[in-house]
Amino acid sequence: MRGGGDFYVWSDDWVIERFPRISLTGNITSTQDGRQLGTSTIFQKLFCGDRDYYFFTRYRSTSHIAPTFQTFNYQIQSIDWESFYNQSGVVIFYQHFGSFYVANAKNIPTTLELLKKIPFYLQGFRFLKEEQEKGNLLVLKTSKLLRYCKMYMTTKVESLLANNKLTLTLHNYENIEDLSFFDGLTLYVENYKDIALECLYKDKPLKFVYNGLDARGKYSITLKNK
């Protein structure tokens, strides 16, 4: 894998797996299966032999059942979404959507004809779609999310407020040249109606859009250079 650019690595050691446990009093709890590396971080940069690699964690939690299309509704339901939103959580589902289920050494593929017969198994997708339309959730391709995580981990922002002008200067440890690398980065700012605002990287101006007040009553901007 040497010399091929960025690498995002996942293995069975990087899986979040929760198993339900029911006590004698009937209380239901959730425990880890022991493979978790002692961190809740979804993304880590590690040096391995010749270079740095980016390792990421996927969420499985289907117990002994394979994470196929048939289990996706359960994966969705197993997440405490209120806590997820309150903590600004991130999750990558461990899924094989091409297989509907695997049983008795048989792999039943997912087809449109099959889903038309049993549309119940599309509920998880409908939930994600509805939450995104409400503005509660952002659904991304895994590759785009991982690139965002890399940008977030390697970028530092300096803020300078002088003469009624706010200057945000970005620094990146990877010496990025493509300004679109920063797309999606959201920065809290002072009330932009009262001050001038600019955002720079290597003295180059970055394009951005203004956001209104969020749920916490704060203003922000989001970088968009494409």
β-bridge mates for residue 54, sequence order: 8, 45
* Dihedral (CA of 62, 148, 127, 108) sign: negative
**Integer Cα distance of 189 and 52 in angstroms:** 33
Name the 3-class secondary structure at 56: strand
Q: What is the pLDDT of residues 76-123, one digit of tens each?
A: 988 889 888 888 888 899 999 999 988 777 889 999 999 999 999 999
β-bridge mates for residue 28, sequence order: 22
Q: What is the pLDDT of residues 157-214, one digit of tens each?
A: 999 988 888 999 999 987 888 999 999 899 988 777 778 899 999 999 999 998 888 8
Name the 3-class secondary structure at 78: coil
